[in-house]
Amino acid sequence: MTTCSSTQLDISRSEALYARSVKSNATRFPVIDAFKAIASQLIVLHHLAAYGPLSDAVQQAAPGLISWLYDYARMAVQVFFVIGGYLAARAIFSSGRNSGSLATALFNRYLRIVVPFLAALIFSIVCAMAARHWMADDFIPDAPTWSQLFAHVLLLQGVLDFDALLAGVWFIAIDFQLFMLMVVIVWLSGKAAYSRNLISALITLMVAASLLWFNRDPGLDDWALYFFGAYGMGVVAYMAGMREKSGKFWFWLIVSLAVVALIIDFRARIMIALAVTITLFLTIDLKRSAQSGLSLLRYLGRISYALFLVHFSILLLVNAAFAGLGFSSPLAGGIGMLATWAVSLVVADLFYRRIEKPAAAIFRTAS
């Protein structure tokens, strides 16, 4: 009994020290900064290529570019799933594993996601209202119903089959589902000395189920298990960095599972998730000095969620202005796309500083 308690205490201390170390350096992790920065820009470019007369105009001169952005740039979302799993594991292990701390972590996660999201949703509804006066296009959301709004607040719009009021809102809902699933796994595993291996085993089983079954059925893409393969890889990449041999065993087991899944049914999105996971693992000890030359990547990574939330609203307005003014040439379309991209970055910076960052500070203090 004494040995078990001593082992459990050593594990708790190890987790606490490592979590504190990673937490203190989280904003100085260049690989995560770079991945978030690049992936967020690709998602914006994908939506620019997917919606409205701006895309139609540019496609006349550069059909290959528009097709590539439409078909492949959207796969950058896999980067956020892997990083989301990595950061979720960090948050959960640093907050503790009793039911109270897990419930608090889940509630704070919901608030930190939803408060900025609701602000962006209101902004998008207003922008869509303005855009409908200037042009008619299927990509402009209709005026929302109360039930539709309530479903968005609960992040259940996809599950309840409501039309999205904001491009990419499905990702926010899935991200919260995944975090909730991770909390349940940790809670079920308890606080025994062997619990971390049990957590790793459960995650490995769910990753296998996702990669070999759920992720191969597009009809399941409203549910977390469809995406848990990428998310679970990120979780285990974090756990492998906790300086224990067992963590590395589970990590390489999941990598092997991903390779087998790709052999059975190749999916480029899974290949991307695997590459990001291995990169995170191999660069776990890479930190950036405070005066490094990567300030642009740090900035773009920091505002990536704000950019994700606001860029569709800007896209609505610029497309509507483009159509309303009667433009149709590829040159005008290209200028409009660049303007949308640039304005989105400016608005994202304001949104981050005025809404997302203050909200995050409030909930971090409350926890």
Per-domain boundaries in the chain: 12-366
What string of DSSP letters covers 22-64? HHHHGGG-HHHHHHHHHHHHHHHHHHHHHSHHHHHHHHHH-HH
pTM: predicted TM-score of the whole model, two decimal places: 0.88
Q: How far apart are the first and last CA of the chain?
A: 33
- Number of C-alpha atoms within 13 angstroms, CB side, residue 204? 20
For the stretch 33-84, pLDDT in tens is 899 999 999 999 999 999 999 999 999 999 999 999 999 999 999 999 999 9
Q: Of 42-46, 102-106, 130-134, give the lowest mean pLDDT range.
A: 102-106
Read off the pLDDT band of 367 (50, 70, 90).
Answer: very low
